[in-house]
Structure 1
Amino acid sequence: MTAAVIGGMDRLQPHYQKTARKAGYKIKMFTGTENTITERLGSIDLMIIFTNKVSHSARKNAFEAARSENIPVIMCHSCGVSTLRDCLNNPKPDCPMKG
């Protein structure tokens, strides 16, 4: 399974990758500053948006792209590794972080 992570911290990317592998995911990282996030998403099963590290317009564009493809979106304010782990291990509709 593949998850897109929008936002987050560049220095934590290796830790994000390791955490995702342990949860059975491959992740595609986007810092939120790219102009072409929606064009580069490709085939994903889940989108996680770290809202404290991404612009409003990038969040909106990514969210709309995911919704148009019926991809589940989880929005979290925190961008820590433990937050990513929680999102990947509980991507259910009743997840409190569900967007």
Structure 2
Amino acid sequence: MSIVIIGGNECMERDYLNLCKEHGCNAKVFCKYKSCMKDRIGNPDLMILFTHTVSHKMIKVALDSAGTGTQIVRTHTSSKTSLRSILRTYAQT
């Protein structure tokens, strides 16, 4: 399963990637806005938006880039526990 994480804390980027890997998922994490973000998102199976730590511009770019088959999950907290809960619900282990 491919996952794109938008937002979150920069210092936890490696933790997000490792947690996704534990659940058998390939992940891309965008904590800050990058000009190439729109081209790098691709067509993931799941897009996770950490709404507390993300700008409105990033959300708009991410939602515009999401494919029709992409599931979108919004969560206010950007903790590992929150991500783990989402992965248990959506990812097949």
* TM-score over 0.5 (shorter chain): yes
Q: Using structure 2 for the length normalisation, give the TM-score.
A: 0.85
Helix, strand or coil for the counterpart of 1:79? coil
Gaps of 5+ in 1: 93-99
Q: % of aligned pairs identical?
A: 29
Runs in 1 of length 4+ with deviation above 3 angstroms? Answer: none
Higher relative contact order (CA 8 A, sep 6+): 2
Contact 2:42 2:65 in 1 (8 A): no
CA deviations on 1:35-86 (whole Å, 9 max, x unpaired) are 33221112421100101111112112212321x4331100111001111111
Counterpart of 2:19, as a letter, is T
Q: Using structure 1 for the length normalisation, give the TM-score.
A: 0.81
Q: Distance in 1 between matches of 2:88 and 2:38?
A: 24
1:17 aligns with 2:17: yes
Contact 2:4 2:29 in 1 (8 A): yes
CA deviations on 1:5-51 (whole Å, 9 max, x unpaired) are 00011111121112111111111011142133221112421100101
Q: Distance in 2 between matches of 1:47 and 1:32?
A: 15
Q: Distance in 2 between matches of 1:63 and 1:7?
A: 13
1:42 aligns with 2:42: yes
1:6 aligns with 2:6: yes
Q: Which residue of 2 aligns with 1:56?
A: 56
Q: Which residue of 2 aligns with 1:70?
A: 69
RMSD: 1.7
